[in-house]
Amino acid sequence: MGAPIVLVLSTDESVKPESVIERIRKLPNSEDQIKLSTEPSECIGYGYQIHTKYYDTKVILYAHGSAELATVSNAILKRTEGILIYFDAKDRTFLERLPAYSTFVQQHEIEFGILLCSTLQESSADGITYGEAKSQCTVLDVIELEPNAEDAEEEVAGAGEATGVDELIQAMHNYIWSNVNIHRGNRNTGATDEESPGLLSPNPADDGDNDADAAPITEEEERIIEAELNGFERLLTEVMNFQPNTSNWTRNERLMYAEELAEMFDNLVEEDETIGHT
């Protein structure tokens, strides 16, 4: 099916979706272009590699040339897992578009969606505030790409969370995309797949001849193996149900839960390694 697509569109005529993509990738759009389809016209996407300590993946950022989502082709829509919508926070008419965007996101089960703007307004008299944007569209988060000076200074000083484009990039890295390649092995030691044994994996030094001379499994060893299997099956079920179970959660809640699952995986691997060295 290919890498998941993130739709990028803009309702602000002064800001093209291609410019938003360049800010995310920090690369010129002439690099890593990907042809997505040729019907009804040629569609070009831009590859974006995501690397975290938990997984690696690649998504495709697609600049949709219209603020109207009805014109998105089926070929693009079938692979769409995220949407970024840029708006002018001084234009209050944008609020009228939010119900339609919210409906689109829900109908197509798009779980990663963010409204982007330069800077939100403090008062509704000046434009759109954060509270107004969230109340009109609860299924989309809101990120300022150019936050006020106070927020930016807090980030530089290490006193606050990521802001601006860095906050958007962090959100994309925190989301679990459908094509993620989970890192196996012990992340704390930096072991690779080849260096770190998997759960219940055999000793690589063993061969068929050694199997014949191996001592029978004791009841205690059998109990430990059974406990490991049960633990791994529970973890696997949690991972498989991650998206449906967290569809109504905030981005931070999903991140915390993902970190808990990663910690559970680490604990299982460490227990297996401990048993293997006893």
The model's pLDDT over 223-258, given as tens digits with 9 standing for 90+, comes to 777 777 777 777 777 776 776 677 667 666 777 787
Span 99-109, average pLDDT: 94
Q: Kindly report whether the global pTM for this prediction surpasses the value 0.95.
A: no
Computed over its alpha carbons, how large is the radius of gyration of the chain?
A: 23
Position 178 pLDDT exceeds 70: yes
Tens-digit pLDDT profile for residues 148-176: 766 555 544 454 578 899 999 999 998 88
Which residues is 7 bridged to in the sheet?
62, 83
**Residue 253 confidence (pLDDT):** 75
Position 259 pLDDT exceeds 80: no
Position 79 pLDDT exceeds 60: yes
Query: Contact, 278 vs 271, CB < 8 A?
Result: no
At residue 38, φ and ψ (nearest 5 deg) are -120, 0
Residue with tokens 């970190």: 259
Query: Could you count the other beta carbons within 10 Å of the beta carbon of residue 8?
Result: 24
Span 181-199, average pLDDT: 47
Q: Taking all residues of the chain, what is their mean pLDDT, rounded to a whole number?
A: 79
Least confident interval from 1-5, 104-108, 203-207: 203-207
